[in-house]
Amino acid sequence: MFDVLEIRKEFPILAKKVNDKPLVYLDNGASSQKPISVIETIKNCYENEYSNVHRGLHFLSNLATEKFEAVREKTRSFLGAAYLEEIIFTSGSTEALNLVSYAWANQNLEYGDEIILSTLEHHANIVPWHFLRSRKNVKLVWIDPDENGQISFEMIEKKISSKTKMVCITHMSNVFGSIIDVKTICQNLKKRGIVTVLDGSQAIVHLEVDVKSIGCDFYTFTGHKLFGPTGTGVLYVNKKRIEEMVPFIGGGEMIKNVSKDDVTFNQSPFLFEAGTPGIAEIIGLGAAIDFVLSFDRKSVLEYEISLSEYARAKLQRLDWLAKHSFHSDNLAIFSFSMEGIAHAHDMATILDANGVAVRSGHHCAQPLMKFIGVPATCRASLALYNTQEEIDMLIESLEKCKKLFG
């Protein structure tokens, strides 16, 4: 059985008070809180097991290397990848998507080639392609979501031309919580020889992901949203694409030999992991994956669906609230505003006074804000440790906003 009250005991910060009110943390889409197991793993690494990895022959270096590389195997299994060399550690999804842009796209795209993007994308899956356009004169082709926040293969197909080389889309919107059918999209694009890049930063927290089944070329997620440390991320690269990539950053670890006249490169994944990595942080990411896998993920998803339905129903009753793509299939993320009454930042400030933490702003999705016609929204995003009582406190605080702003 899924017991949310027992799970909450694993997160010390949830017992905190803010402005003399119980903390209601509903900013999980930005970053999640950390369980004791992750905190203790990092602490233990620094206190008892720390050394640099891959280079030393002494006991601590071997131990740190063993623990660090064990996380790579854990991540491979977690994503359903076939080979260890397909798992590259990064500082987060932002670095991972830039890595794809520089290490693959910069080598394989030419003047006039086209990249299809959706208006749903986080800036991390937009700006690297703007950079590429500046370097290579490629063309960015945009797809707007439907009223449910969805992007379908049929919508993408209408934009495909003989110049289309890549499709870069989110697996789950960080503004709407809409889950994109990436499996159908990737499998159809593969038949056309079009490379697929998926931003799984939100989806990985809520869904079981199998990259082999999806059939994507690249898949990325960030650790700090998955109850892990900041400064951690993962890029999955299909083995076929690895052979088409060049190094992104040069330095230690990504080389075999260096002379005054030549450099011989290492194999993947080390080829793309130059320099000393976040050792304790990646080991902490492994603890976060263990934490997620300690539950029956179907039961967790069922709970999150139920909690989302409860939140959606409660928010729908506030007829003075503007709701942005509140479709019944969307999960865990709710964006709303009070048109003509208050700015999102004002709303968030009032909510914070009541101990309720939400996100306000454009959520690193300015093209989407322009598409839905608002400068910013408030966003409440749920995790497995949130409760119906916390949703009630959100509603109560929103009603205080309404009274205050009239």
Q: For residue 83, is pLDDT > 90?
A: yes
Average pLDDT, the chain: 96
What value does the mean pLDDT take over residues 304-327?
A: 96
- Name the amino acid, one letter, at 256: K
Q: For residue 142, is pLDDT > 90?
A: yes
Question: Which residues lie across from 195 on neighbouring strands?
Answer: 166
Cβ 184 vs Cβ 340: under 8 Å:
no
Fold assignment, 39-293: Aspartate Aminotransferase; domain 2 (3.40.640)
Cβ 156 vs Cβ 116: under 8 Å:
yes
Cα–Cα separations (whole angstroms), residue 120 to 131, 169, 190, 277, 365? 19, 8, 22, 31, 7
Question: Which residues lie across from 357 on neighbouring strands?
Answer: 25
Residue closest to 24 by CA, chosen among 401, 402, 395, 405 = 395
Dump strand ranges (E) for 132-268.
139-143, 164-170, 195-199, 218-222, 233-237, 255-258, 263-265
What value does the mean pLDDT take over residues 324-342?
A: 91
- pLDDT at site 55: 82
Alpha-helix residue ranges (DSSP H) falling in 231-365:
239-242, 279-293, 297-316, 344-353
361: alpha, beta or left? (left if phi > 0; alpha if psi -120 to 50): left
User: With the CA atoms of 170, 71, 75 and 27 taken in that order, what torsion angle do they form, in degrees rounded to the nearest 10?
Assistant: -40
- Indicate the angle between helix axes 388-405 and 344-353, nearest 10 degrees: 120
Architecture of domain 4-28+296-405: Alpha-Beta Complex (3.90)
Look at the alpha carbons of 102, 107, 109, 111 in this order and tell me if their dihedral is positive or negative: positive
Residue closest to 165 by CA, chosen among 87, 83, 80, 100 = 100
Q: For residue 39, is pLDDT > 70?
A: yes
Show me where the domains of the chain are located. 4-28+296-405, 39-293
Cβ 100 vs Cβ 125: under 8 Å:
no
Which tokens hold the place of 273?
């992991």
- pLDDT at site 66: 97
- pLDDT at site 406: 73
pLDDT confidence bin for 173, thresholds 50/70/90:
very high
- pLDDT at site 1: 67
What value does the mean pLDDT take over residues 125-153?
A: 97
Candidates 45, 186, 216, 364; catalytic one = 364
- Answer yes or no: same fold for 4-28+296-405 and 39-293: no
Which tokens hold the place of 25?
């943390």
Q: For residue 237, is pLDDT > 90?
A: yes
- Indicate the angle between helix axes 279-293 and 59-79, nearest 10 degrees: 40
Q: For residue 84, is pLDDT > 70?
A: yes
Q: For residue 155, is pLDDT > 80?
A: yes
- % pLDDT > 70, the chain: 100
How far is Cα 230 from Cα 278, in angstroms, rounded to an integer?
10
Q: Is 364 a catalytic residue?
A: yes
pLDDT confidence bin for 276, thresholds 50/70/90:
very high
